[in-house]
Amino acid sequence: MTDPDTVAWDTPEGEHLRPYIVTGGRTQPTHTMSLSSLLKARARGAARRLSPEEQQVVAMCRSGPRSVAEISGHLRQPVQVAKILLSDLLDCGAVIMAMPSTFTDARDPDLLEAVLVGLRAKFAC
């Protein structure tokens, strides 16, 4: 059996622990948001010291609004983990919602087309 104090985060053993550590063991975000909810960084700093993952999210959101799905992908974390981190950042004032999540229909063809265009632009070779 592996000693938990010596498990590196990038090993197969550490992969299962990482989301738990990032969220502090929490499984539910404090804010409701969809995959297409947009968040942007606030001009003023956060009310507390941020974790490395939270700092990464704020840096991404400084260049413009980012969707929950995009943030999750950049962090390489499950969406639920990203939502928990984003909820924490909303609570401390580091980010704000750029668009109300309740007004977005995930099946809207215009929204889906915009996401497809953005993904193609991002990953064009």
Average pLDDT across each block of 10 residues of the chain; the chain has 125 residues. List them in order: 49 57 79 90 80 89 91 90 92 82 68 80 71
Contact 68, 39 (CB under 8 A): yes
Q: List C-alpha distances in Å: 104 to 21, 63, 100.
A: 31, 22, 8
* pTM of the complete model: 0.63
Whether residue 57 contacts residue 83, with contact meaning beta carbons closer than 8 Å, is answered with: no
Beta-sheet strands, E only, within 32-120: 38-41, 66-67, 95-97
The length of the chain is: 125
